[in-house]
Amino acid sequence: MEALAVMQGLTKVYGNTLAVNNLNLTIPRGKIIGLLGPNGSGKTTLIKMINGLLTPTAGSILINGMAPGPETKARIAYLPERTYLQSGMKVCDLVDYFEDFYADFDKNRAFSMLGALNIQPAAQLKTLSKGTKEKVQLILVMSRHADLFILDEPIAGVDPAARDYILNTIITNYDENASILLSTHLISDIENILDEVIFIRNGQVITHMPVDRIREEYGQSVDAYFRRVFAC
């Protein structure tokens, strides 16, 4: 099956800082993949380049065979690590907004998840707590039938009780041909749902392998293996 996303020689330089360094990576279909690395390793830079929010200094990115643009954005559901919604809008208006722009948005699924997390559709975003805003964003993103879900720190700001629901949502709400690229520092919370992990350091992929292989070959959990690889 054709790869979902292919990155070749991808490089991003900020001034004198090399954030992503000649990175080569292939993201397959139908996998939940953890994008893991220490702070400043280039995870968010890579994610932003895939989403067209950063222009690469060199190299190429192809998603479904296309460079980042309106066509790829229609097929990627992206959750950034910050609040990107307009605070003056109501939750129900945001649902309408996503429905208007994304053909793959499932409005019923969004309202169902809002109900499960006790979020009032009539509530104005600016009246919600930071954690609830993050839940709203995650619900909007996960209510799409996208090919690639890119979630940057999806559970960092929410309470542990909501984390289980969110992780369950992630597992159950994606199609078998879709993939999820999940970046987080809370490895132990998510490692049970991961199929593969990508370790990134100094803007380069140092490991890309199935989670089962880490357990079989190294006899360690992903969390323990991560601590060993990135030990200070």
Partner 1 sequence: MLKKLFKYEWKAFWKVPTAINVFLGIMTFIGIISLASPFWELDIRGIEIMLGLAVFFYILAIAAGSIGVTIAITARFYKNIYTDEGYLTNTLPVTARQIILSKLFVGVIWSFITGAAVSISVFSLIYTASLSYSDVNIFYEFWQDFPEFLRFFREEAKISFFLFAFLGLIYLILSTALSILKLYTAIALGQLFSRHKVAGAVMWYIGEYVVFEIITSFLRGIPSYSNGLFSFFFSYGISYYNSNSYSVLLSMLIAIGFCLAVCAGLYFLTEHMLKNRLNLD
Could you say whether residue 101 binds partner 1 (CB under 8 A)?
yes
Could you say whether residue 160 binds partner 1 (CB under 8 A)?
no
- Judged by CB under 8 A, which of 1, 2, 100, 172 binds partner 1? 100
Could you say whether residue 129 binds partner 1 (CB under 8 A)?
no
Q: How far is the CB of 58 from partner 1 (least distance, A)?
A: 14
Tell me the site size for partner 1, rule CB under 8 A.
Answer: 27
d(CA 218, CA 227): 13
User: β-strand 196-201 against 5-14: which pairing, if any?
Assistant: unpaired
Q: How far is the CB of 71 from partner 1 (least distance, A)?
A: 7
Q: Are 167 and 191 in contact (CB under 8 A)?
A: no
Could you say whether residue 85 binds partner 1 (CB under 8 A)?
yes
Q: Binding marks (x or -) toward partner 1, 25..44, rule CB under 8 A?
A: --------------------
d(CA 99, CA 83): 19
Q: Are 84 and 137 in contact (CB under 8 A)?
A: yes
Nearest to 12 by CA among 3, 25, 4, 22: 22
Q: Is 170 helix (H, G, I), strand (E, B) or coil?
A: helix
Phi-psi region of 26 (alpha: psi -120 to 50; beta: other; left: phi over 0): beta
Could you say whether residue 159 binds partner 1 (CB under 8 A)?
no
How far are the Cα atoms of 42, 48, 71, 75, 76 from residue 68, in angstroms, in the given order?
A: 18, 11, 8, 10, 10
Could you say whether residue 149 binds partner 1 (CB under 8 A)?
no
CB nearer partner 1, residue 15 or residue 219:
15
Could you say whether residue 122 binds partner 1 (CB under 8 A)?
no
CB nearer partner 1, residue 145 or residue 215:
145
CB nearer partner 1, residue 55 or residue 108:
55
Distance of CA 64 to the CA centre of its chain: 17
- Residues 55 to 84: which contact partner 1 by CB under 8 A? 55, 69-71, 73-74, 76, 78, 80, 82-84
d(CA 34, CA 197): 5
- Residues 189 to 218: which contact partner 1 by CB under 8 A? none
Could you say whether residue 54 binds partner 1 (CB under 8 A)?
yes
Q: Where along the sequence are the contacts to partner 1 (CB under 8 A)? A: 14-15, 48, 51-55, 69-71, 73-74, 76, 78, 80, 82-86, 88-89, 97, 100-102
